[in-house]
Amino acid sequence: MRKDKPCILRVEDVTMQFGGVVAVNNFSMEEYEGEIVAIIGPNGAGKTTAFNVITGVYAPTNGRVTFDGRKVIENFPRGKMKKGYLGENAGKYTDHLEPTPDKLTALGMARTFQNIRLWKSMTVFENVLIAKHMKRTSNLFSATFGGNRAEEKRQRDEADALIETVGLSDVRDEPATSLPYGKQRRLEIARALATDPKLLLLDEPAAGMNPQETVELTRFIGEIRDQFHVSILLIEHHMDLVMDISDRIYVLDFGSMIAHGTPVEIQANEKVIDAYLGVTDDA
């Protein structure tokens, strides 16, 4: 654990309850700057839900998320949930902070999606360029009437540079959806990087990839961390990839965290082997 570095993300007691189902129960984690942290767990363990809470897609039923030293999300059981709340730590949090995903992205959190979500009608270049929209300083009028030429040019140059860095220059003007799967993933990561994030969240980056592509991706993620100085939080099923690049791992099962530690510790953990690497259907 790199405790000497500042904490980039702190999740405290996050509980997400849908109706009577507790999808994530009392989940806490920390990530320090420059780390690669993985969340693993069997299907339906609540990994993606936890992810969606951190990125602002869902407001948690209870709990708090602190990002880059700033409290960004906090909620407590309110309204209908007040009576029906099944989780723990009720009453510990009293604030209500529920930003939309774009606000969190503006603070420096960028994500990719499990089922690739590129803008389908657009080229590789445009996909990266649009992610630069957030960084604009021009208003509607100056943008429409060409008062932002310099900014426009800078955005285009930055997008081109980024495409070059991630190795997609040869397909720059191809429609995004015409790329092979591995390159679409790469593009989605490049698009997230275009927002200049401090924390990059990857939701199953190796899903649907063949072994060759997975090896390339593993190398790519390592490169990104070093080149762009980002911290990375990822959800993954491919054990090879996770054990290879993660500094630390959190293991979820049925919504609760059952273990956390270094890859070596996790590989030796009895509980994890039972729940995940053992005789479950999806192993």
The site for another protein (CB under 8 A) is made up of 55, 57, 100-103, 105-106, 110-111, 113, 117-122, 126, 129-134, 136, 138, 140, 143-146, 148, 152, 155, 191-192, 194-195
Residues 45/281, Cβ–Cβ less than 8 Å: no
Shortest reach from residue 254's CB to another protein, in Å = 26
User: Which residues lie closer than 8 Å to 89 by C-beta, 6 or more apart?
Assistant: 13, 15, 26, 62, 63
Shortest reach from residue 227's CB to another protein, in Å = 20
The residue among 129 and 259 lying less far from another protein, judged by its C-beta, is: 129
Shortest reach from residue 23's CB to another protein, in Å = 19
The Cα–Cα gap between 112 and 187 comes to: 10
The residue among 152 and 244 lying less far from another protein, judged by its C-beta, is: 152
The residue among 167 and 175 lying less far from another protein, judged by its C-beta, is: 175
The Cα–Cα gap between 92 and 37 comes to: 27
The residue among 113 and 228 lying less far from another protein, judged by its C-beta, is: 113
Shortest reach from residue 259's CB to another protein, in Å = 29
Torsion of CA 10, 61, 197, 217, to 10 degrees: 90
Shortest reach from residue 164's CB to another protein, in Å = 15
SS3 5: coil
The residue among 105 and 246 lying less far from another protein, judged by its C-beta, is: 105
Residues 124/179, Cβ–Cβ less than 8 Å: yes
Q: In b/e form, how buried is each residue of 98-113, taking b as 16+ CB within 10 angstroms?
A: ebeeeebbebbbbbbb
Shortest reach from residue 34's CB to another protein, in Å = 23
Shortest reach from residue 116's CB to another protein, in Å = 9
The residue among 54 and 272 lying less far from another protein, judged by its C-beta, is: 54
The residue among 10 and 172 lying less far from another protein, judged by its C-beta, is: 172
Q: In b/e form, how buried is each residue of 39-77, taking b as 16+ CB within 10 angstroms?
A: bbbbeebbbbbbbbbbbbebbbbbbbbbbbeeebbbbbb
Q: What is the DSSP string of 18-87?
A: ETTEEEEEEEEEEEETT-EEEEE-STTSSHHHHHHHHTTSS--SEEEEEETTEEEEEE---TTHHHH--S
